[in-house]
Amino acid sequence: MIFRQFRLERGITLVELLATISLFAVVILLASTVIFQVLGNNTVTSEHIDRNQRVNVIVSELRSQFLEGNSQLCSTQLDEKYYIEVRNENGAVVENCIQDVDSSSPLSIKISSTITDFSLETTFTSKNSYVLDISIDNEEGVDVADCIFTNPTFIADSPSGFIKFKKNICKDDIYLVNGDANIKGNLSLYNSVHFIISDDLYVYDPTKTLELKNGSILQVDGNAHFDSEITLKNNSQLIVENDAHFYKEFSQQGNSGKICVKGNTIFHNGLKEEDFTHILGCN
pLDDT tens-digit readout, 132-151: 344 444 455 556 667 888 77
pLDDT in tens, 19-34: 778 787 888 888 777 7
Exposure letters 176-190 (e unless 16+ CB within 10 A, then b): bbebbbbbbbbbbbb
From residue 264, alpha-carbon distances to 11, 46, 120, 197 in Å are 65, 18, 7, 18
215 DSSP 8-state letter: T
What is the chain's alpha carbon radius of gyration, rounded to the nearest angstrom? 29
Please state, as a whole number, how many other Cβ atoms lie within 10 Å of the Cβ of residue 13. Answer: 9
Question: Phi and psi dihedrals of 110, rounded to 5?
Answer: -130, 125
pLDDT-based confidence at 129, cuts 50/70/90? very low
Exposure letters 247-279 (e unless 16+ CB within 10 A, then b): bbebebeeeebbbbbebbbbbbeeeeeeebeeb
What is the Cα–Cα distance from 70 to 53, expressed in whole angstroms?
24
Is residue 163 within 8 A of residue 156, CB to CB? The reply is yes
pLDDT in tens, 89-117: 888 998 889 999 888 777 888 888 888 77
User: Please, which residues have CB within 8 angstroms of residue 48's CB and are 6 or more apart in sequence?
Assistant: none
Residue, of 88 and 126, whose pLDDT is higher: 88
Is residue 248 within 8 A of residue 226, CB to CB? The reply is yes
Region for residue 192 given its phi and psi (left: phi exceeds 0; alpha: psi -120 to 50; beta: otherwise): left
Break the chain into its structural domains and give their ranges: 40-124, 130-276
3-state class (DSSP) for residue 58: helix
Question: Phi and psi dihedrals of 84, rounded to 5?
Answer: -120, 155
pLDDT exceeds cutoff 90 at 69 = no
